[in-house]
Amino acid sequence: MRLPRRVPAAVAAAIAVAGYAAALLGLRGGSAPLLLDATVGNAVTLGATGLLWWRVRSGVADRAVLVPLAAGLSATALNEAAADLVEVVGAGPPRGPAVVVAPVLAMPCFLLAAQRYVRTRLADRHPGSWLDAVAGTLAIAGWLLLLEAPLRRVLGGVLAGGAGVPLALPAVDVVVMLQLLAVVVWCGARSDVRLWFVIAALALAGAGHLGWVVQEQAGTYGGGNPVDALFTAATVLAAAVGWVPPPRTPLLRASVTRLLVPPSAVLVLCGALLATGAAPRRAEALVGAALLLVVGRLALAHRELVPLSHARHLSLTDELTGLGNRRALLAALAEAEQREEPCALLLLDLQRFKEVNDALGHAAGDELLRSVAARLRARARRGDLPARLGGDEFALLLPGTALAQAQHLADALAADLARAHRLSGTSLHVPAGVGVAARPVHTTSAAGLLHCADVAMYGAKRERRPVLAYDERLDRRSGDRLRLVEELRAVLAPGADGGSLVLHFQPKIDLATGGVAGAEALVRWQHPRLGLLDPTSFLATAEQRGLMPTLTRQVLSGALAEAARWHREGHQVPVAVNLSATDVLDAGLPDRVRAALRRHGLPASALHLEITETVVLGDSTRAREVVAQLAGLGVRLSVDDYGTGYSSLAYLRDLAVHDLKLDRSFVADVAADARAAAVVRTTVDLAHSLGLRLVAEGVADEEGLRLLRAMGCDESQSHLHSPPLPAAEFRAWLGAHEAVPAS
C-alpha cells in the first residue's frame, strides 16, 4: 500500500504520543503524571482538534464527514481537559454522571462521521443500512446487561458500586470498528488509508474506555493514568483523517447478497441471548427492539433484492430471443477459464440475413432470429449456454466438451439451421456459417477462444461452408483482410489521389439495333502488392467498414469524367454507376449527383444509376424519396440483379425506375432450359407492361442472344459482346461500334 505524502507526519505524531505514553508509565505515583497529562496530553488533543477545525474552515471538500468528527473530538477533548483541571486544583478525580456526559454526546457525532464517510465511498447506496448499526448496538447492549452480573462475580466486585458508568461506550467503539472492518473486507477498501486511521482510533478509544470503566468503578482512576495516553493517541489518529487525501480508487461496491449478512448476524445475537433464558427484562426489551429493526431491514433488503435480481437477469438475457447475451457469454467463458476445464465454443452467423431484413422488413428478421434461437436452444445440452451476441450472430458454449464432439454438434446444428424457416406463411432457407474452437486445443484463454471461434466463423462464411474449425492459416488470412481494409482506407482518405482505383467499362448493346446503348463503370483496385483486384475482393468489406460513400463518390466522378470525354469525341453513350445500400439511404446523394453532372458539363440523361432490389427495401420510405429525387433530375435508374431477392413485385409499382436488369442466373441457360426461358419471357412482358426496359445480363451464346431478341428483350450486357475494358481500350472499342441515341 503506497501512503500519501501527509501520512508520514501523522505517523510521527503517533510516535510522539507513544513517547508520551511511555513517560506516563515511567512516572507512576506522585503529581508528575497528572501535570504531564494536564499539560502535554491536553495540548496534544486540543491542538489536534483545533487543527482539524482549521482544516474544515479551509474549504476542504469532505466537510460533511469532518464537521461531526471534529465536534465529537472537541467534546471529548474539552471533557478531558476539564477533568484534569478539576484534579490539578485539588478537588480530586471527578466522579458521577457528569463524567460520562461528553463521551456519550460525542458518540453520535462519531457514528454520523463514519456513516457519512462510508456513504461517500459506496457506489451503491442501500437506504436501510443504518438500521443494521442501530439493531447491532441494541443487541450488544442487551448482551452487556445479561453479562453484568457474571462480570461482577468474575471481577470480584470490582464493578459493584460506583456511579454505574456505562459499558456501552467501549461497546459502541467495537461495533463501529467492526462495521468499518466489514467495509474494508467486503468492499475491497484495503487501500483506503483514512478507514485504517479511523479503525485504529476506534480500537485505541475502545481499549481506553474499557480501562477507564474498570478503574472508575474500582475507584482507582486518576489523572495521569496510562489510559489517558490511549485517548490522546485516538484523538491524534482521528484528527489526522482530515489531512489524508481522499483515495483515488474507484467507488466501492458491496455485493448485493451481503446485504443480508448484518441483519443475519443481529438475529444470531438476539436468538442466542433469548435462548439463555436468563436475560433481564431490560435486555429482552432491547432485543425486542433490535428484532423489530431487523424485520424492517429484511423487508427493505427484500424490496431491494427483488428488482436487483430481475435487473441482473435482464442484463444477462437477450430481449428478443430470451437467450443469454454477450455479457452472459463472457462471464461464462471467464468462469470456465478459472476452473481450467476444457470447453468448446460454436459461433454462427446467418448467410443472407441482411437480405431478409431488407426484403421482408425487420419484423420478419426478428421472427427469423427467434426461429434460429429456438433451434439453438433445442440443440443445447444441460450445462451448455446458448447466446445471441448481437445482430444475426449466435454462440453456443460447450463446457467440458472436446473438439471432436464439438464438431459433431456443430454439424448437427448446421443441418438444423439449413432447414426452411416458416415466417408468417413464408418459407425461407437461410443457411449459417458455424465456426468451432476448443480450449486448450486452440488457445488457453477465454478471449483467445472467442477470437478463434470468430475467425473460424468468418472463414466458414467466406468459403460457403456450413462448419469450419479454427486453423492458424485462417487467422493469417483474417489479418490480411484487416490489412487490406486499412490500405483501402488510405487510398480513399482525403488528400489521396485515388490513382490505384481504376475503372473498367462494359458495354450494353441495344438488341433491336445492335448499337451501343450504354456502358457500366466497374471499379478495380490496382494493388501494389496483390495486383489488379476485382470488386468482389473489397466491396463487401468497404460496405461493412463505412467506406462505400467515399468510394462511390470517386467512381461517380471518374465515370462522368470518362463519359464527358466520349461526348467530346462524338459518342453519346451514357455511363452507368452502381449504388450501394448506404448510398441510396443518403439524403444528400441527389445534390451530389447534380453537382457532379454540372461540374463535368453533362446532361442528366448521360448518367444511369443501378441499385439492387434488396437495397430499396431496407428503408423503403427514405429509399423511395432518394430514388424519386434522382429520377426528378432526369437520371435513368435501373434495378440490378432483378429476381435474386425475396421481394414482391409491389415496389415496382411505386418506385421511380426505368430499367430492370435480369440477373445472369436466369439468362445464362435461356437457350438450354425451358423453365429459365419461361422466367425470362414472363419478366420481359412484366417490364414492358410497366413501361420499363429489360436488360439481360450474362447471356452465354449467340443462340441465347437470338432468343432474347425474339422475346423482345431490350438490351444485353455480357462477355459475348465485350468484357469490361480499361478506359483507353474501351474508347478504342467504342470507336469501332455505332452508338444508339441515349434515351
Q: Which residues are catalytic?
A: 697
CA nearest neighbour of 675 among 666, 684, 683: 666
What phi and psi values does residue 601 have, to the nearest 5 degrees? 70, 35
Q: How far apart are the C-alpha atoms of 743 and 302, rounded to whole Å? A: 76
CA nearest neighbour of 461 among 405, 414, 419: 414
Distances in Å between the Cα of 373 and the Cα atoms of 357, 421, 606, 699 are: 17, 12, 49, 42
Report the 10 Å Cβ neighbour count for 194.
Answer: 21
Cell 435480481 appears where?
Answer: 309
Q: How far apart are the C-alpha atoms of 677 and 680, rounded to whole Å? A: 5
C-alpha cell at 483: 490489412
Q: Cβ distance 282 to 124 under 8 Å?
A: no
Q: Cβ distance 424 to 367 under 8 Å?
A: yes
Contacts of 658 by beta carbon, 8 Å cutoff, 6+ apart:
631, 636, 637, 638, 692, 693
Hey, what amino acid is at 673?
A: D
- DSSP letters, 243-254, are GSPPP-SPPB--
Q: How far apart are the C-alpha atoms of 152 and 514, rounded to whole Å? A: 122
Hey, what amino acid is at 499?
A: G
What phi and psi values does residue 624 have, to the nearest 5 degrees? -65, -35
3 state SS of 503 = strand
CA nearest neighbour of 580 among 522, 534, 540, 524: 540
Where is 180: in which H helix or E strand? helix 168-186
Long-range contacts from 309-313, C-beta under 8 angstroms, 24+ separation: none
- DSSP letters, 135-170, are HHHHHHHHHHHHHHHHHHHHTTTTTSSTT---THHH
Q: How far apart are the C-alpha atoms of 380 and 397, rounded to whole Å? A: 9
What is the signed CA dihedral for 408, 409, 413, 414, rounded to 10 degrees?
A: -30
Residue 91 carries which DSSP code?
I
- Pairing, β 575-578 against β 516-527: parallel
C-alpha cell at 432: 449459417
CA nearest neighbour of 392 among 411, 364, 420: 364
Please name the residue ranges forming H helices in 241-381: 261-276, 281-315, 326-339, 353-360, 362-379
Cell 440483379 appears where?
Answer: 641
Contacts of 50 by beta carbon, 8 Å cutoff, 6+ apart:
none
Counts for the chain of helices (H) and strands (E), in that order: 28, 17
In angstroms, how far apart are the furthest CA atoms of the chain? 132
3 state SS of 435 = strand
Q: Cβ distance 229 to 21 under 8 Å?
A: yes
Burial annotation 347-368 (CB, 10 A radius, 16+ → b, else e): bbbbbbbbbbbbbbeeebbebb
